[in-house]
Chains A and B, each alone.
Chain A
Amino acid sequence: MHWVPCGTYNVNYRQDFAIFRTKPHWISLVVFLLILFTLPFYCSRYMLALLSTIGITIIAVQGLGILTGYGGQISIGQAAFMGTGAYLSVILMQRFDFPFLLALFSAGIGSGLVGVVFGLPALRIKGFYLAMSTLAAQLILGWFFLHLRGITGGTEGLHVEHASFAGITFNTPQNKYWLVMVFTLLAIFFAKNLMRTKVGRALVAIRDNDLAAKVMGIEVALYKLLAFFISCFFAGIAGAVYAHYIGFISPVQFTLQDSILYLGILIVGGMGSIMGAIFGTVFMKLIEEFVFVISPMLATWFPGFGAQFFAALSLAFYAIIIILFLVFEPRGINHLWVVLKNRYRLYPFSH
């Protein structure tokens, strides 16, 4: 059920559509944005780096959320599509002198088109089998990154020059953070709007009941491919932003493990919700940092295991968390958030 804050009466449909409906909503949005964009003035480089990676991951996971969460098409190739975007943007800029924004946009489109090609099997197969065919995308694209040495630099990767547009060169942790955050917010904004309009409803319709969707006049095949395109467009943009944030790209940054991690993030955050992708990413990245902090400590407390044992602990942590969420809260953190919100709005009554 959908509850609005007490005393809010919608008298027209636009009010009913509004995400930020009341004054407190708008105030909290403005305060949040102010804090988000002033962080570089008083935060450590470490914090900025963490938040930037979270931002980039959110873009990729939003994309995956559209395809897998809303569209119901499982994909374990998101990292490869991210890599496609990263390589495309860098190659377009270095070899063809594209300006940054155009290269970024083209990388998104290019990655989206590659996604459509690998999405073609989705027209005939579903679920587990589709997962296998997107796995092929991951492996094939990964192979290209590694072996098209002339273009991608092979294992040595590519050095990426700083992004620059409107006279600003993004070369400090602070302004790179701003760059990332702008794209992250745009990604969230676009994802949310797409998913609450025609395209989003069509995708969920296909996910929940493709037969009924067909009878209701939705072109199932077209929308499946569109889901792949949008998802991989987001991945491409995430990859391109990532490349210009890190300053160096190589095949090891876009592995199968990352693809699976993105799926895990989506499960933990909650499939089929925009907030879920954000919660999931923040949560998992914080876990990663937590493990990063405690593993040296553990290594000193239990010397018998050796440092390597604990260095690899984050993966074990991910696995346990994903399993726990699947068992106890399959709808993810987002569901907890929704429940909490509704409880708060109804308090002190239970229903």
Chain B
Amino acid sequence: MKDWAHKGEQALLRFQDISLSFGRVGALVGISFEIGNEGIFAIIGPNGAGKTCIFNVINGFYRPQKGRVYFDGRDITRLGSAKIARLGVARTFQNIELYTGLTTVENLMAARHMLFKDTIVEGAFYFGRTLKQEVAHRRVVEEVIDFLEIEKIRKVEVGLLPYGLRKLVELGRALAMEPKLLLLDEPMAGMNMEEKEDIARFIVDISEEKKIPVLLVEHEMDVVMDIADNIIVLDFGTKIAEGPPEEIMTNQSVIKAYLGYDA
């Protein structure tokens, strides 16, 4: 386990006493945690515990009523989604949200949208910077495709792909942004054993080779316990535990939240 919290470095993402409610339903209640500059972090909890809500707050979809979110030392609580993305936050969704009409390559190229610096006029003529940038960004996109081993579906429209491959393309799209922080919302949902193992390997590689910190929401406990460096446990919108997998596994309140009684 990486002892990131005690390295004295500044946290990449910091949740400071975040409270979010819909009407009288408290979705998140006073949540605070920190994500370091490297490692795999997991958020677990029973259904409706508020895991995805945390992602939506980071992304700027939801505005918390209380508290602040800091990313890379900057307050992003009130920023728009596109601006937050530009700062280097990429995510995947629980239910795949791809651009179904575009091919795999185009999906990944679209993810690099904000890195393109050409103007619309150059684009219309397809010359100068446009052509150079298309080539340069395509090169990066191909590296991601190579990394995820999806060369074969490069030019297939994403709408025609089976579920497992779509999940990979979505992961690829997030990676193509070359983010500083990767948020994965249930990357293994609905996949078979082999696919899960592949994804788990990719996540470890992303963290260790590409040095991108990963924040993961996942129900697949064995995987989470295997690959996560630090785990945050939520229940009914409150943080009930935080720590390395070994601690979480024996934590009484976690067991109670999951099983409903004291073990």
Name A's B-contacting residues (CB within 8 A). 1-2, 12-14, 16-17, 190, 193-194, 196-199, 201-202, 204-205, 207-209, 211-220, 226, 272
Contacts and interface: CB of A to CB of B under 8 A. Distances in A.
A201 B59 contact: no
A110 to B, nearest CB: 18
Given A194-B123, A205-B110, A217-B85, A212 B177 contact: no
B126 interface: yes
Interface of B: 59, 61, 80-82, 85-86, 90-91, 93, 97-103, 106, 109-111, 113-114, 116, 118, 120, 123-126, 130-131, 134-135, 138-139, 155-156, 173, 177
Contact of A205 (B99, B126, B135): B99
A201 B120 CA distance: 12
List the 6 shortest-distance A-B pairs measured between CB atoms, nearest first.
Answer: A217-B85, A217-B114, A212-B97, A2-B155, A193-B126, A201-B110
A216 B124 contact: no
Contact of A197 (B59, B61, B118, B173): B118
B131 to A, nearest CB: 7
Contact of A199 (B101, B109, B120): B120
Nearest to B118: A198
A204 to B, nearest CB: 5
Contacts of B177: 216-217
A217 B91 CA distance: 11
* Majority secondary structure, A binding face: helix
A216 B114 CA distance: 8
Contacts of B138: 13, 16
8 contacts: A2-B155, A194-B124, A209-B99, A214-B80, A214-B85, A216-B110, A216-B173, A218-B113
Nearest to A186: B124
Contacts of B91: 215
B185 to A, nearest CB: 11
Contact of B101 (A197, A198, A207): A207
Given A204-B101, A214-B81, 4 more contacts: A13-B134, A194-B123, A208-B98, A212-B99
Nearest to A212: B97
A205 B111 CA distance: 9
B98 A193 contact: no
Contacts of B126: 193, 196-197
Nearest to B155: A2
Contacts of B173: 216
Nearest to A271: B101
Contacts of B134: 13, 17, 197
Nearest to A14: B135
Contacts of A197: 118, 123, 126, 130, 134
A213 B82 CA distance: 8
